[in-house]
Amino acid sequence: MTANSYVFYGSEPQFVLIVAGVHESEQSGIEVAHWIRTKLAARSRPTRFGAVVVPDVFPQRGVAARTEEWRSGDASGSREVRIQGRTLFPARHFPPPGQPLSALKNGLLIDRNGVELRIAKQTVPQLAEIRYVIQFVEQFKPVRIVSVHGKRPRTRDDLRSTRAQNGLTDKQIKDWDEVTAIKGTNFPGIFVDPRYQLGKDCPQFDLEPCKFDSLHDPAFPTLSEEKDQRFDSARTDLGRKDDALCLKAAKAVAALDATLVRGNHVAESLPVVHYAKEGGTPQAFSLGDWGPVDVAVQGLGARSGAPVFTIEVKDDNESWAFLDGVQVVDEKGDPLIVPPTPEERAAGNKGRKFVKSPGFTKRFSQKRSRELQNYAQGIIETILELP
């Protein structure tokens, strides 16, 4: 199954790349991407920057995930692609920072020294769907990249597993209200991997220290001292501009519904725009590692680094305003019109409304649709509009 892509031209020549579905079960992120492309298509004037939207990077797996979600009502299935019993971690299938796609000889993942990576003692063939995304980056050379995910509800186990960053005591974890976002633990919100430069002291894989200063970042309360904290702790001037834009995007969504970006703490004096790498992933490179770094090569693949904005949507479930990418209700939840065929038009038929089956009526949520539209609107108003 081929992934669909949508191109929208802006009033300026630069493009923003927007992708969703890197993890097969995060259907909320896929719907946000569909809302972005339908809202862009309905606009009477272009945004400042053009957009290339790939709403479902793994469409075949997305179909399976949506079928299961419809059947069970549960969107919390496996997040990682498995082939022949192997977990392949698609979000870690990018080239080393500063290197083009062509650096991956024989289609195998490599480290920064060009040595083939191994997961569970086996080399890792790059997934074709991720190569597709990388080719879009190399072709369009986006000035910004948006990757839309989903965030299952946080639990006390999440607080315990990130205790080294959040510094909570057992009692504080026990007394947690299961709603309030805790700094040092990743909650839903909009985060950025800012533009950065590779240095000799940059670790092979854990590149966060080269991106931002965790000793002064409020996302890491156990490391930083409050009097020296600043949300824009990126190492470079361009990176601090990326931090500022990320906060504007989070505030734009918060103005529509503050519960959607709790992890940004936008109402506090020290908001958060950086996302701490979570455990359980192999030593390999993410889009947020690769995208923000300049690629200085001759010919195809050469480009300037682009900040990667990760949208961690609250919860994984969709609203069912789209059925496998086909929009069936409008922004208000009213059924759309099925376009007539040439035969029907010739007979005077102007189209018919999508039928609302009992199953659809049971599954569709206008409240959830509005939440996911709010993310889409905030992204359009800021990342596609602000210089």
**Interval 135-169: pLDDT, tens:** 999 999 999 999 999 999 999 999 999 999 999 99
Summarised one tens digit per residue, pLDDT across range 5-61 is 999 999 999 999 999 999 866 899 999 999 999 999 999 999 999 999 999 999 988
Cα separation, 33 vs 193, whole angstroms: 19
Q: 6-329+364-382 domain in CATH 3.40.630?
A: yes
Whole-angstrom CA distances from 212 to 189, 197, 240, 247, 273 are: 18, 11, 9, 15, 11
Neighbouring residues of 206: CB distance < 8 A, sequence distance ≥ 6 = 277
Asked if pLDDT for residue 132 goes beyond 90, the answer is yes
Quickly state the pLDDT bin for 225 (edges 50, 70, 90).
confident
What proportion of the chain, given as a percentage, has pLDDT over 70?
A: 97
What is the structure's pLDDT at 163? 93
Quickly state the pLDDT bin for 211 (edges 50, 70, 90).
very high
Summarised one tens digit per residue, pLDDT across range 298-328 is 989 999 999 999 999 999 999 999 999 999 9
Cα separation, 16 vs 37, whole angstroms: 12
The SS3 assignment for 124 reads: coil
pLDDT averaged over every residue in the chain: 93
What is the structure's pLDDT at 184? 94
| Residue 35 · residue 106 · CB < 8 Å | no
Q: Would you give the DSSP letter of residue 295? A: B
Mean pLDDT value of segment 172-186: 96
Cα separation, 59 vs 30, whole angstroms: 10
Distance linking the first and last C-alpha atoms of the chain: 36
| Residue 188 · residue 374 · CB < 8 Å | no
Summarised one tens digit per residue, pLDDT across range 329-374 is 999 999 999 989 999 999 999 888 887 788 899 999 999 999 999 9
Asked if pLDDT for residue 69 goes beyond 60, the answer is yes
Whole-angstrom CA distances from 94 to 100, 198, 266 are: 9, 16, 31
What is the structure's pLDDT at 200? 78
Q: Output the six-digit token pair for 190.
A: 């909009």
What is the structure's pLDDT at 73? 84
Quickly state the pLDDT bin for 83 (edges 50, 70, 90).
low
Quickly state the pLDDT bin for 282 (edges 50, 70, 90).
confident
Backbone angles phi, psi at 293, to 5 degrees: -105, 135
Q: What angle do CA 326, 327, 331 make, to 5 degrees?
A: 165
